[in-house]
Amino acid sequence: MAADPNSFAASSAVPPKKPPLWNDPAWRALFFQVVVVALVILLGVFLVRNTLANLERQGIASGFGFLGSTAGFSIGESLIEYHEENTYGRTFLVGLLNTIWISFWGILFATILGFIIGIARLSSNWLISKLAMVYIEVLRNVPLLLQIFFWYFAVLRPLPGPRQSLSLGDGFFLNNRGMYFPDPVPEQGFHVVVIAFLVGIAAFQAVRRWAHVRQDRTGEQLPIFWIGLGLVAGVPVLAFFAAGSPLHFDYPALKGFNFKGGAVMSPEFFALLVALSTYTASFIGEIVRAGIMAVSHGQTEAAYAVGLTRSQTLRMVIIPQALRVIIPPLTSQYLNLTKNSSLAAAIAYPDLVLVFAGTTLMQTGQAVEIIAMTMAVYLCLSLFISMIMNWYNRKIALVER
């Protein structure tokens, strides 16, 4: 059989003629990649050699030793204790915390406002839907930096001084030094309220699980929303009064030329927060609208047909499906907001870019290390937010069989 030249086995035994080396895809790929790697290495060597030569000529030491030396400049606002004798490492931390702080609040407010705008855009009320459209089209087509400038230079800075502050209700004052508001101060025994809150959440989880089992068994439903509200909000309130209201507010009061007491939000933070959250909300509004519209109308009709009420349809049919469409683009908006918070540098809010990539860089001249550290921080923040959102996305993802 092996001798038969026409048989299949025989013809496959003679290997097809190999293409020449320069036409073989595998060799070509290898060759091409070697060339690419060589080019990248050459470029790297070129850049590193130039940089080292330039640094030496300018007398700048390389390495991260500068993080230990004294900073010697002050920072307007800081979440941790900081004064001029602290090190550059400390300024890095201050800037990083401020960046995280503004991003956190920005994301929170942008999400709330964005969902309101998105739902308003879908309202059956013509006026509401058109107003939402105007909001979206105006805010998202104007550069964010311009909006930050507008809030800072045109709205907050021309406000009157502390003596002529605008009063916004009891204990809220707005002037060119910022926004003053009452500071809640917990007293002896406040921990009872915190414990009651945690107990309420735990009890709510237990009741919810039990209600599920009960519904599976008997088909009867519990008004789980009201029970939950009572446990999570009612129990701590009762505990609060039972413990004798262990909380008082520290009200800001005008003393001399400025306010004393209370809490204050600086105009820089306020302008940045308003601009970041209203700008991002316009994008989130469009995302929410698209997400809700992506749920086909048949789903709503089917839900009504099986007897679900309007609110049940919304809660159990439309929102879970809409969220799957909303979450991925929402994640990228959160990432954008975090990155956009770096515009703080333009109005001197002491975030990472201003404090570290700005002042610290100017003082030490260690451009390479500082820019690399700053970029690494933003990359890590981006990765961290993506991780959380991907985890959430997996949790709500459609379970396909």
At 176 the three-state DSSP class reads coil
User: Do the Cβ atoms of 106 and 276 come closer than 8 Å?
Assistant: yes
Give me the 75-114 binding string for another protein, x by CB under 8 A, dash otherwise: ----------------------------------------
Among 266, 382, 390, 393, binds another protein (CB under 8 A): 382
Chain positions 116 to 145 lying near another protein, rule: CB under 8 A, are 123-128, 131, 137-138, 140-145
CB of 114 to another protein, least distance (A): 18
Binding region for another protein (CB under 8 A) out of 88-96, 153-161, 254-262, 323-331 = 153-161
Among 342, 349, 355, 364, binds another protein (CB under 8 A): 342
> Is 379 an interacting residue with respect to another protein (CB under 8 A)?
yes
Chain positions 8 to 47 lying near another protein, rule: CB under 8 A, are 29, 32-33, 36-37, 40, 47
Closest Cα to residue 250, out of 262, 232, 238?
262
Start-to-end CA distance of the chain, whole Å, equals 50
Chain positions 155 to 194 lying near another protein, rule: CB under 8 A, are 158
Helix H or strand E encompassing 264: strand 263-265
At 18 the three-state DSSP class reads coil
Q: How many CB atoms lie within 10 A of CB 326?
A: 24
Tokens of 212: 């599920």
Burial 253-287 (b: 16+ CB within 10 A, else e): eeeeeebeebebebbbbbbbbbbbbbbbbbbbbbb
Closest Cα to residue 182, out of 258, 253, 254?
253
- Choice between 28 and 255, CB closer to another protein: 28
Rule CB under 8 A: which residues touch another protein?
A: 29, 32-33, 36-37, 40, 47, 50-51, 53-55, 57, 123-128, 131, 137-138, 140-146, 149-150, 153-154, 158, 339-340, 342-343, 345-346, 353, 357, 361, 367-368, 371, 374-375, 378-379, 382-383
